[in-house]
Chains A and B, each alone.
Chain A
Amino acid sequence: MSANDLSIHAPPLNEAFGAGVQAAAASPPSVSPSRRAWQRFRCNRLGYWSLVLFILLVVLSLFAEVLSNDKPLLVRYEGKLYLPLVKDYSEKTFGGDFDTPTDYLDPFIQDKLTQGGNWAVYPPNPYGPRTINYFAKEPNPSAPSRGNLLGTDDRGRDLLAQLVYGFRLSVLFGLALTGIGVVMGVIAGAIQGYAGGKTDLIGQRFMEIWGSMPELYLLIIFSAMFAPSVGLLLLLLSLFGWMGLSDYVRAEFLRNRQMDYVRAAKALGVSNLQIMWRHILPNSLTPVVTFLPFRMSAAILALTSLDFLGLGVPPGTPSLGELLSQGKANIDAWWISLSTFAVLVVTLLLLTFMGDALRDALDPRKADQ
Chain B
Amino acid sequence: MIGMPATLRTTEGAGLPGGGMAPQPSPLPLLEVKNLQVSFGGKPVVRGIDFSIAPGEKLALVGESGSGKSVTALSLLRLVPDAAVGGQAIFQAPGGPSDLLALPESALRGIRGRDIAMIFQEPMTALNPLFTVGEQIAEVLQLKKGLAQVQSEQAAIELLASTGIPEPARRARAFPHQLSGGQRQRAMIAMALACRPKLLLADEPTTALDVTLRGQILDLLGDLQRRNGMAVLLITHDLNLVRRFADRVAVMENGHLVEQGTVADVFVRPQHPYTRKLIDSRPVRDVVAADAATPSAPVMQAGHVRVAYPVPVAGFRGWFRSDEFVAVKDASFAIAPGRTLGIVGESGSGKSTLALASLGLLKFSGQLQAMGQSWGRQAAANQAMRRAVQVVFQDPFSSLSPRMTVEAIVGEGLLVHEPGLGPAQRRARVEQALVDVGMGQAQFPGLLGRYPHEFSGGQRQRLAIARVLIIDPRLLVLDEPTSALDVTIQKQVLGLLQRLQRERGLSYLLITHDIAVIRAMAHDVLVMKDGEIVESGSVFDVLDAPRHPYTQILVAQG
**Nearest residue, chain B, Cβ from A31:** B451
Closest B residue by C-beta to A22? B443
Which residues of B382-401 are within 8 A (CB) of A?
382-383, 386-387, 389-391, 393-395, 398-401
Establish whether residues B440 and A13, one from each chain, have CB atoms under 8 Å apart when the complex forms.
Answer: yes
Known A30-B454, A260-B398: A269·B382 in contact at CB below 8 Å: yes
A283 touching B402 in the complex, CB below 8 Å, given contacts A2-B273, A17-B492: yes
Interchain CA distance A271-B417 in the complex, whole Å = 12
A224 close to chain B: CB less than 8 A: no
State A5–B486 Cα separation when bound (angstroms): 15
> Which residue of chain B has its CB nearest to the CB of A266?
B361
* Cα distance, A263 to B391, chains bound together (Å): 9
CA distance A2 to B258 in the complex (A): 15
Which residues of chain B are near A282, meaning CB under 8 Å? Answer: 401, 403-404
Taking CB atoms, residues of chain B closer than 8 Å to A231 are none
Q: A18-B492, A268-B413 in contact; A263/B438 too (CB < 8 A)? A: no
- Contact partners of B435 in chain A: CB under 8 A: 12-13
A85 to chain B, nearest CB (A): 46
A269 to B378, CA, bound (A): 11
Q: Which residues of chain A have C-beta atoms less than 8 A from B401's C-beta? A: 261, 278-279, 282-283
The minimal Cβ–Cβ distance linking B414 to chain A, given in whole angstroms, is: 10
Partner of A261, one of B41, B382, B400, B498: B400
B496 touches A15 (CB 8 A): yes
Given contacts A18-B458, A21-B459, A269-B386, A264 and B361 within 8 Å (CB-CB): no
Give the distance to chain B from A128, nearest Cβ to Cβ, in Å. Answer: 47
Are A267 and B390 touching (Cβ within 8 A)? yes
Chain B: CB-nearest residue to A265: B412
**Complex Cα spacing A29 to B449, Å:** 8
CA distance A31 to B452 in the complex (A): 11
Assess whether B280 is interfacial by the CB under 8 Å rule.
yes
B467 interfacial by beta-carbon distance below 8 Å: yes
B373 within 8 A of A: no
- A15 CA to B401 CA, complexed, in Å: 25
Closest to A3 in B: B273
Supposing A30-B405, A33-B451 touch, asked if A267 and B459 sit within 8 A by C-beta, the answer is no
* Distance of B33 from chain A, by nearest CB (Å): 24
Residues of B within 8 A of A31 (CB): 451
User: Which listed residue, B416, B444, B464, touches A24 by the CB 8 Å rule?
Assistant: B444
Q: Is B347 an interface residue (CB 8 A)?
A: no
Contacts of B486 on A, CB cut-off 8 Å? 18
Give the contact-size bracket for chain B: 35 or more
Q: How far is the CA of A70 from the CA of B394 in the complex (A)?
A: 70
Which of B394, B403, B445, B467 contacts A25, CB < 8 Å?
A: B445
Which residues of chain A from 1 to 28 have a CB within 8 Å of any chain B CB?
A: 1-3, 5, 8-9, 12-13, 15-21, 23-25, 27
A64-113 residues at the B interface, CB under 8 angstroms: none
Shortest Cβ distance from B458 into A: residue: A18
**Whole-angstrom distance from the CB of A309 to the nearest CB of chain B?**
43
User: What's the Cα separation between A3 and B280 when bound, in Å?
Assistant: 13
- What separation, in Å, do the CA atoms of A268 and B416 have in the docked complex? 8
Is B495's CB under 8 angstroms from A260's CB? no
Contact yes or no, B456 A24, CB < 8 A = yes
Q: Are B398 and A24 in contact (CB under 8 A)?
A: no
A-contact bits for B493-514, CB 8 A (1 contact / 0 none): 0011011000000000000000
Nearest Cβ distance between residue A199 and chain B, in whole angstroms? 17
Separation of A1 and B491 alpha carbons in the complex (Å): 13
Q: Give CA–CA (A21, B442) in the complex, Å.
A: 12
In the complex, the chain B residue whose C-beta lies closest to that of A19 is B254
Q: Does A259 contact B (CB under 8 A)?
A: yes
Contact between A2 and B402 (Cβ–Cβ < 8 Å)?
no
Please name all residues of chain B whose beta carbon is closer than 8 Å to the beta carbon of A29 when the two chains form the complex: 445-446, 449
- Docked CA distance A33–B254 (Å): 27
Is the CB–CB distance between A12 and B436 below 8 Å?
A: yes
Partner of A260, one of B277, B395, B458: B395
Closest CB-CB distance, A68 to chain B, in whole Å? 44
Residues of B within 8 A of A (CB): 41, 254, 273, 276-277, 280, 284, 286, 356, 359, 361, 379, 382-383, 386-387, 389-391, 393-395, 398-405, 408, 412-413, 415-417, 435-438, 440, 442-446, 449-451, 453-456, 458-459, 464, 467-468, 471, 486, 488-489, 492, 495-496, 498-499
6 contacts between A and B (CB under 8 A): A1-B280, A15-B438, A259-B398, A264-B467, A268-B412, A271-B416
3 closest A-B pairs by CB: A20-B456, A8-B495, A269-B386
